[in-house]
Amino acid sequence: MNREQIARVAHEVNRAYCASLGDHTQPDWAHAPDWQQASALAGVEIHLTNPDATPEQSHESWLAQKLAEGWIYGEVKDAELKLHPCCRPYAELPQEQRAKDFLFRAVVHAMAAIPAPAPVPAQPIVAAAIATNGLVPVVYIGHRAQHIDGTYGSHMQFPRGIAVPCPPELAAKLLRHADVFQSAPSQPQQEDQPSTAELVAASIAPPFAISQPQQEDQQEQQDQDVRDTIGFMDKGALSNFAKTYFKVDLDQRKGVDKLRREVTGLFDQFGIA
């Protein structure tokens, strides 16, 4: 935990203590003026640099800095006039202020003692570069010439050795099978390479159905294949599909069945180019 985070917590504890005494004038950390944040940060620095420093010693250091900046004692704090009721020796401070100093010191040392979280090992999906529209390129490395995903219900097609952009949720599941799938590094798209949308379209249906003119019955079969694929998609896949092809952001609060009907309606209305 860094010094600013510690100062923020210490400030909020102090603000809560002030509120318990009936003082509701203290701003939260985000709205605290620069001088107040700087003062808290300086206090954190004192206690971290000198762990044995007492609240009294911390106050003396704070007071010396304030006096050097032109602050003087005043019954009411006034930033413009640089008046502060704590600009006096520690022995003259009221008990409430001394309590604040003890709380501040305790919070700083308690927060500093919290161990940093262990780093999370990088997962294969993290190493894979995220493709356009948030899709993750996945390569099938199995023994067949082509694999059609039936395990997770996407029915996407994976020609062996070809990077196929997948919704992140599906990619995470596929990449668990390291002997069959692997992530693919993202590379700048060349002029003669198909776009992400073209690769996705090719992966969810036979290439000829989208890339070549067909008879009406063949086109209808192709359209039905896409509808069937949509019928198996989860929320994440539906969201990526709608964003990729129709530039539509789905309402994730809706149920998956409603979203499937919505995406099917978009497909029936606009098709896939």
- Mean pLDDT, the chain, whole residue set: 79
The more confident residue out of 187 and 125 is 187
| pLDDT confidence of residue 87 | 93
Please say if the pLDDT value at position 172 is more than 70. Answer: yes
Looking at the predicted structure, is the pLDDT value of residue 231 above 70?
yes
pLDDT tier at 135, thresholds 50, 70, 90: confident
Tell me the average pLDDT across 12-22.
91
| Higher-pLDDT residue of 102, 132 | 102
With 0.85 as the threshold, say if the pTM is over it: no
Contact status, residue 10 vs residue 104, Cβ threshold 8 Å: yes
